[in-house]
Structure 1
């Protein structure tokens, strides 16, 4: 394959996908409405076609204009979007849909492609745009991929878990980086052993390309970090990355030596009873999930995919955070509320 059409392509996953495709000598065209800044505007290796991906006629025009070998659908949020795209790009060598680990409909560890059942989806849910139906819509879109493959379309699906990394507009990880960067005591909800599988964005990008090149039509592939860490371990990982990205001064103005962030930060676990002192609930914290969410990535690894070492992925994420104005502070309780919790814990 030599040419690729990326539906989306300028914001987060799509942005990294375009960079990955360019690094592997693809001719790349992005298709979007042009409502956001295009980071590839000055890159003559990237063409752009303007249009709304929810418009079948716009997609058909793009298919005719670009005639891509591979299509990557980064912004399909409704089953009808995938049904239309798999029809319009039926003659391409590969159509890859960005699904989600939220498509799984059963809590088990780990969730495996083809074994763990998907969410059911009613006709009403398929049209609903709320967060409550996100997983159901992605599951139904996956079924549209499988149906297209049954018709002979080279359609495949990639299911990321929680995606993080540079240019992450969701600011979910930014909340935790901001906390660790500003405070020495970090409140961690629960007992600190919570696990919500995460996926570094550059690994998601490479997974999409590898699935297009080597995947099998009608199959879905999970993608996530090959090594998982608990929420408490995530705090330590961020602290270490802050030391690598922006080492603290070895000596303060008063002549005292300052400690590295990793040495000075304390993760303080707080259960429901302790959090109540600050009017906080466990799920007020982003990246907290009561039941572990873990995806098997063995199927993707069998295609030759590899994940970035966690330390490297986190350092890049932290560096990007420090250079941005993202804080993610809306993703968790106010610090004043946490201070009340810490005060209660100090009395125990």
Structure 2
């Protein structure tokens, strides 16, 4: 197959590109060339999807069997890509997000859950991330003349993660000592590897599927305590976890989700965060590797990145703040 990947060099886009090449497809990537590295074997086209002339240059003389749009975040911008690619490919696969569902993370979700209200021609000023993703979905479904495949991933981890969640925990735990561990170690999570989403997307792009799938992994595939224990095991660290109650941390203005990545305190705000249903996707062929494998492979990549060059994108607690809370807790 001939596949165009909008993005294709960073994290999930890289995983999709790598899997497409492994399957023997002819791959074109379209990006600005500012992040990531082009994989050997792709036709790399440089351009900005917000510049109409760059899109015109991309499509000139080219056609594909499928387009996979990994990084579209503004409905109006995605709509421009859709208009130019409609008629030049049979399938348009759009990588959305579980955040496009208005029930998330307060309630359980599946493909029938309502989307946020957002117009398919909305601009960046017209809503938050989840709203704009919902608008992008509508731009694809309403504007593409062909098969529209919508993928709504949950919490994605894996090698080359550019969000900083698992990398921050691996970095922190690798330094050892007393490590503040937030909340309940028995709290069940639901994590998925970027490479498993990549395989699923490509299988359905190959089949010309027109549908939507929530791809959030298997419920309860690890606990928070088990996840941190895997980080300690792969790094060979002597870290000692000190589990601190949710309320104690919230009283000290510790921010959920960011200061301790993927820490979701008990309560209504995060009641459904680990309860999305991937049953439809699993029935359609989604397979999920053990979280331990994801942790191991991510560390194998990260340990080759010098500590001073590791990027966590605002994730992680300040060491002095962590030490102060540990002292208070003791």
> Residue 295 of structure 2 is aligned with which of 314, 338, 343?
314
Confirm or deny: 8 A CA contact 1:187 1:270 kept in the other structure: no
> In the superposition, relative to structure 1, how do residues 238 and 128 fare at CA in structure 2: closer, same or farther (>3 Å)?
same
> In the superposition, relative to structure 1, how do residues 102 and 235 fare at CA in structure 2: closer, same or farther (>3 Å)?
same
Pairing 1:62-77 to 2, within 5 Å after superposition: 62-77=58-73
Larger Rg: 1
Cα distance in 2 for residues equivalent to 1:332 and 1:165: 18
Cα distance in 2 for residues equivalent to 1:141 and 1:70: 18
Aligned to 2:2: 3
Query: Deviations for 1:24-70, whole angstroms, at most 9, x for unmatched residues?
Result: 11001111122235332xx2x21112221123342233223331111
Aligned to 2:86: 90
> Residue 216 of structure 2 is aligned with which of 208, 224, 228?
224
> In the superposition, relative to structure 1, how do residues 195 and 137 fare at CA in structure 2: closer, same or farther (>3 Å)?
farther
Aligned to 1:27: 26
> In the superposition, relative to structure 1, how do residues 327 and 6 fare at CA in structure 2: closer, same or farther (>3 Å)?
closer
SS state of the match for residue 331, structure 1? Answer: coil
Aligned to 1:300: 281
Pairing 1:168-247 to 2, within 5 Å after superposition: 168-193=161-186, 197-214=190-207, 216-217=209-210, 219-226=211-218, 228-243=221-236
Confirm or deny: 8 A CA contact 1:86 1:148 kept in the other structure: yes
Aligned to 2:254: 280
1:102 aligns to 2:99 (yes or no): yes
Aligned to 1:254: none
Confirm or deny: 8 A CA contact 1:77 1:138 kept in the other structure: yes
> In the superposition, relative to structure 1, how do residues 242 and 314 fare at CA in structure 2: closer, same or farther (>3 Å)?
same
For residue 231 of structure 1, report the CA deviation from its aligned partner: 2.6
Cα distance in 2 for residues equivalent to 1:28 and 1:281: 41
Unaligned 5+ runs, structure 1: 244-259
TM superposition score normalised by structure 2: 0.86
Cα distance in 1 for residues equivalent to 2:35 and 2:119: 32
SS state of the match for residue 79, structure 2? Answer: helix
SS state of the match for residue 158, structure 1? Answer: strand
For residue 267 of structure 1, report the CA deviation from its aligned partner: 4.3
* Superposition RMSD in Å: 2.6
SS state of the match for residue 130, structure 2? Answer: helix
Confirm or deny: 8 A CA contact 1:5 1:68 kept in the other structure: yes
Confirm or deny: 8 A CA contact 1:103 1:119 kept in the other structure: yes
1:331 aligns to 2:315 (yes or no): yes
Aligned to 1:253: none
Aligned to 2:109: 111
Aligned to 2:17: 18
> Residue 270 of structure 1 is aligned with which of 239, 245, 267?
245
**Which deviates more, 95-104 or 323-332?**
323-332
Cα distance in 2 for residues equivalent to 1:70 and 1:242: 40
